[in-house]
A and B are shown apart, each in its own frame.
Chain A
Amino acid sequence: MRYEAPDTTEAAVALLSGEQGLARVLAGGTDLLVQLRSGFTEPDLVVDVKRIAPMQTISAEAGGYRIGAAVSAAQLGEHEGVCALWPGVVEASQLIGSSQIQNRASLAGNLCNASPAADSVPALVAADAVAGIVGPDGRRELPVAEIAVAPGKTALATGELVESIFLPARPARAADAYLRFTPRTEMDIAVVGAGVSLTLDADGICREARVALGAVAARVLLVEEAAAALIGSPLDDAALDALATAASAACRPIDDKRGTIEFRTKVAGVLARRAARTALARAKARS
C-alpha cells in the first residue's frame, strides 16, 4: 500500500486516476481504517485528502454553505451559520459515533461509505444537498441522493472524488430535522432514520417539503408521497397521519439483529411524523 497526502484536489485526482490497482480516499478514516485493519479492503493506494485546503473549509456561497469533504462533524457542529440554516443536517452529523469519531468523521465520508444506515445522508437528501465532484474529466455536480447506488457502492467513476457538499440557501420559515431510532442513546447504528425539510408560507401552510428515510432499504429513500402529504397543509394531524402512512408504505427493509421488517416499517412512519413536527417548530421560529 502507498500513502499519499497531496495538497490540491487536482493532485489527488491525478493520483487516483493513475493507480492501476485499488485506490481509496482517506478523509476521517473512521470507516476506511476499520476496513483496512479487518482486511475487508486491501488498497494499493490511499490518498489522504486532509491536506487539501478547500476540503478543510466551510465557506458561505450563494446564501448557502459549501462544506469541504474532510471537514469533521465536530467542526460542522461548531459552525454557527450552518447550525442556524440547516439544523437537521447538523443534528444528524452529531449523532455519528463518539466524540472521538466526531473529531474525524466527515459528511462526505459518511456519504461515500454508502451505508444505507448512514445518519447524515437522509438529512442531506432532505436538504437537497449537492456533491461537488472532481475527476479526470473535470468537475461535475450530483445530487447527494444519487451518490450511493447500493450498499458500499457509489456513482463515482474511477479517479473521481467528492470535494465538497453544498447546502443551498433557503427562505425564512424554512427548516429541517433528523431523528433516528437506536436501542442505545449513543454509539449505535440507526435502525431507522428520518430527515424532513420544509418551507412554510406566511400563513403557516407548507409549500415545499422533502422527506428521506434511512436504514429501511438498500439505499436512502426520498419519499415523494410523504412530502406530498405535507404540501398544502398546516401540518395538522390529518397531514401528519398521511405522512406517516406514506413513509411506512415506502419502506423495503431487511430483518437483522437491530430490527425486524415490521418494526422498521412502523418506526419509519413514527419518526417521519416527529421529525416533521420538529422541522415545523423550527420553521415557525425562523419567520
Chain B
Amino acid sequence: MPQIHVTTRINGDAVEYLCEPEETLLDVLRDRLGLTGSKEGCGTGDCGACTVLLDGRHVCSCLALGAEAEGREIRTIEGLAEGERLHPLQRKVLEHAALQCGVCTPGVLMAAKALLDRNPDPSETEIRYWLAGNLCRCTGYDKIVRAVLDAASELREADHAA
C-alpha cells in the first residue's frame, strides 16, 4: 500500500504530509511534523497526554489515524500561545505550579481549552470530570484544577472588559 497524501490544517496553517495507513495522528504529529508537544503516555486512550483538538473537539491523537485528518482542522499545544505570549491557561499552570514533570501538561491544557471554549464558567466538579481522562502521576490534580478555575476567571474578566 502506498503512503496516503493528507492535506489538513494544523494550528491555522495548511499542512500536507504522507503517512502510512496504520500510522496514528500522534505519530504523524511527532515523527513527521516535528510537533513533539503532544506526548505518548499509554497509547491506548487512557491517559490523555496526546490530547489535541480535531475540528474543535478534544480527542486522543493516539486513537486517530493520520489519514483521518484529511480536510480537518487540528489544534495542538504548539498553537496555544500567541507567539511569545502564553495563553492564560499556560500562565496559570505556571503561577499555580501545576506541573512537575510536564508530560501530562500539554494534554491537560488542550482538554482544558476545549472545556473553556464551551463553558467559560465551569464548576470545580465539572473541571474534574472533564479532565478525568488526563492522568497526572506527580503534580496532583488540585493544583491543575485551581489553575483552570483561575484561568477561566481571568478569561471571563477579559471578555467582560472587551
Give A contacts to B, CB under 8 Å.
1-3, 5, 26, 29-30, 33-34, 36-38, 46, 48, 50, 72, 74, 97-101, 103-104, 185-187
Contacts and interface: CB of A to CB of B under 8 A. Distances in A.
Contact of A1 (B22, B68, B132): B22
A99 B111 contact: yes
A100 B70 contact: no
A2 B1 contact: yes
Interface string B81-106: 00000000000000000000000000
B21 A34 contact: no
A100 B68 contact: no
Q: Which 5 interchain pairs have the tightest Cβ spacing? A: A98-B133, A186-B132, A3-B21, A103-B57, A33-B63
Contacts of B57: 72, 74, 103
A187 B68 contact: no
Interface of B: 1, 4, 21-22, 24, 43-46, 48, 51, 54, 57-60, 62-65, 67-68, 70, 111, 114-115, 129-134
B68 A50 contact: yes
Nearest to B131: A99
Contacts of A72: 57
A34 B48 contact: no
Contact of B43 (A1, A26, A37, A98): A37
B63 A34 contact: yes
B80 to A, nearest CB: 17
A184 to B, nearest CB: 9
A50 B114 CA distance: 21
Contacts of B43: 37
B51 A100 contact: yes
B8 to A, nearest CB: 13
Given A33-B62, A37-B43, A46-B21, A100 B133 contact: yes
